[in-house]
Chain A
Amino acid sequence: DTEVTQTPKHLVMGMTNKKSLKCEQHMGHRAMYWYKQKAKKPPELMFVYSYEKLSINESVPSRFSPECPNSSLLNLHLHALQPEDSALYLCASSQIEGITANYGYTFGSGTRLTVV
């Protein structure tokens, strides 16, 4: 299995809703990432998990709450979002050690989020 699977593919939520994005990989990668991407821009890093522990939070507002329950799964919990949070949310994973450590990321296909 060489994929990162993200669900749902599309999500529309109101500003008072609580929802979660899910990301799963079975490549044995021990680093997992959340990115936010606005139209016609490169992805912006939000969070990094390394060995299931949060290692980087790029000053993301607390209305975004990441969780890494195990080495294969990464969640992003959403609460009280704003319309400007509408974007494509991408999950990625990578190896940390060994010969493939510098082979870059494997990305999921993303969740397109619309906040109304």
Chain B
Amino acid sequence: GNSVTQMEGPVTLSEEAFLTINCTYTATGYPSLFWYVQYPGEGLQLLLKATKADDKGSNKGFEATYRKETTSFHLEKGSVQVSDSAVYFCALYKTSYDKVIFGPGTSLSVIP
């Protein structure tokens, strides 16, 4: 079946450190891939997306590349800030699936 696996954390980094959160997926066909972010006490926000192989999604300094050959969509940021502290969900979606499939989420804490 379709599924998403990601490192669960928690991940703790110092400000300005490099961030990588790994995400791999299992899916039929060619789904779109997403990273959603959830700040404390809030709902989910779409951070970035990629709709086909080799696409790179980017937003707010975060990037992720859709790698069909490794079925991965790893999230990266060159220099994290305290304000990036949140839970990050990797997800996949295709209209034929009827619903978004989420990974378990990765909690990130950035300390000054």
Q: Which residues of A contact B (CB under 8 A)?
A: 6, 33, 40-43, 45, 48, 55-56, 88, 90, 92, 96, 101-110, 112
Contacts and interface: CB of A to CB of B under 8 A. Distances in A.
A48 B49 contact: no
Given A6-B43, A43-B44, A104-B100, 19 more contacts: A40-B87, A42-B89, A42-B103, A42-B104, A42-B105, A45-B99, A56-B98, A88-B43, A102-B51, A102-B93, A103-B32, A104-B91, A105-B46, A105-B93, A106-B46, A107-B36, A109-B43, A110-B42, A110-B43
Interface of B: 31-32, 34, 36, 41-46, 49, 51, 87, 89, 91, 93-95, 98-100, 102-105, 107
Contact of A42 (B32, B51, B102): B102
A104 B93 contact: yes
Given A40-B107, A41-B105, A105 B100 contact: yes
A112 B91 CA distance: 23
Contacts of A106: 46
- Most chain B Cβ neighbours within 10 Å, of A33, A41, A105: A105
A48 B103 CA distance: 20
B105 A90 contact: no
A43 B102 contact: yes
Contacts of B94: 102
A102 B46 CA distance: 13
B91 A55 contact: no
A90 B36 CA distance: 14
22 contacts: A40-B87, A41-B105, A42-B102, A42-B103, A43-B102, A45-B100, A48-B99, A55-B98, A90-B43, A90-B44, A92-B44, A96-B95, A101-B95, A102-B31, A103-B49, A103-B51, A104-B34, A104-B46, A104-B49, A106-B46, A107-B46, A109-B42
